[in-house]
Amino acid sequence: MSRLRAGALAPAQKPMTAALILGLVIGVFSLIGLTATKADAAVPPKPTVGTCYNYGWTAYAGWSQTGKKVSCSSAHTAKTIALGTLVAGTTRTEASITREASFSHISKTCIRALRGKLGSTYSKRNQSAYAFAFFVPTVEQFKAGQRWFRCDVVLPGKDTLKNLPTNRARFLEGVSLTQRTRGCLSAKFAGPYSCLSSHTYKSISAFKKAGTTYPTQAAFERAVGANCPSRTRAYSTPTRYEWQTGDRWVVCYARTTS
């Protein structure tokens, strides 16, 4: 289940660059302006859970998405899995949306929805490349009083979105991870993302970190040394928001040329 592993406060669906420092993936927030766009003739209604879309990387990286809906039985790259209400007082600015109260609420809602959509175990989910993307109303929708946020499930590649399953209610229930769905990393691109894209590290195992208080980086590193296979060359950790929702799993990655 894709996430920013170092606990950095940054929108989980925005394309990131990263550095592997002592094996830890560090997210770097990419600033994206929330600029106004030319108003359409009619303001789109709020989205609905269960709707499928076929948007690409640019839309995935945006704050708002009003792309064409497609049948969930045909090829699609995203599906809406949750709809929530923005924290009272949230404005349509990056600073407001990503402030602690707002971003915590959005993240935890999407994390829980993604967990339910994927099914299976913590270990398998966290070794996968599946992620959530969140979106807020457009400028026009916001002016019209809409205050929702939307969570979509996606399967990122390195700079593309892979198609989602069309015939499974829970994407990982009863199936093994494949090259398409397993999470991989590279030295310059935060992930994980589908191993179908070129990569340097591949997920090989996961373990549950003991304790109830969110660990320090040093504590995570000690746990990796004690629990990851000897061929591990990188690892990833849950964000604070994932930890607070019960996900305490650390993922181990081996270097690979495949």
Q: Which of 193, 196, 106, 195 is nearest to 155 (CA)?
A: 193
| First-to-final CA distance of the chain | 21
Quick one: average pLDDT of 22-30?
A: 33
Predicted TM-score (pTM) of this structure: 0.84
Q: What is the pLDDT of residue 67?
A: 78
| Digit-coded pLDDT (tens) for 205-251 | 999 999 999 999 999 999 999 999 999 999 999 999 999 999 999 99
| Digit-coded pLDDT (tens) for 119-168 | 999 999 999 999 999 999 999 999 999 999 999 999 999 989 999 999 89
Reported confidence tier of residue 84, pLDDT bands at 50, 70, 90: very high
User: HSE (CB half, 13 Å, CA atoms) of 24?
Assistant: 22
| Digit-coded pLDDT (tens) for 87-106 | 999 999 999 999 999 999 99
Q: Which of 256, 3, 257 is nearest to 122 (CA)?
A: 3
- Say if residue 85's pLDDT is above 50: yes
Is 186:206 a contact under the CB 8 Å cutoff? Answer: no
Reported confidence tier of residue 7, pLDDT bands at 50, 70, 90: very low
CB-based burial label for 29 (10 Å; 0-12, 13-18, 19+): middle
Reported confidence tier of residue 258, pLDDT bands at 50, 70, 90: low
Phi and psi, residue 43, nearest 5°: -80, 125
Q: What is the pLDDT of residue 13?
A: 40
3-state secondary structure of 45: coil
Q: What is the pLDDT of residue 66?
A: 77
The edge-to-edge listing of strands for the beta sheet with 24-28 is 17-21, 24-28, 232-236, 249-255, 201-208, 183-185, 193-194
Reported confidence tier of residue 6, pLDDT bands at 50, 70, 90: very low
Quick one: average pLDDT of 187-195?
A: 86
- Say if residue 15's pLDDT is above 70: no
| Digit-coded pLDDT (tens) for 28-72 | 223 333 444 444 458 999 999 999 999 999 999 999 987 789 999
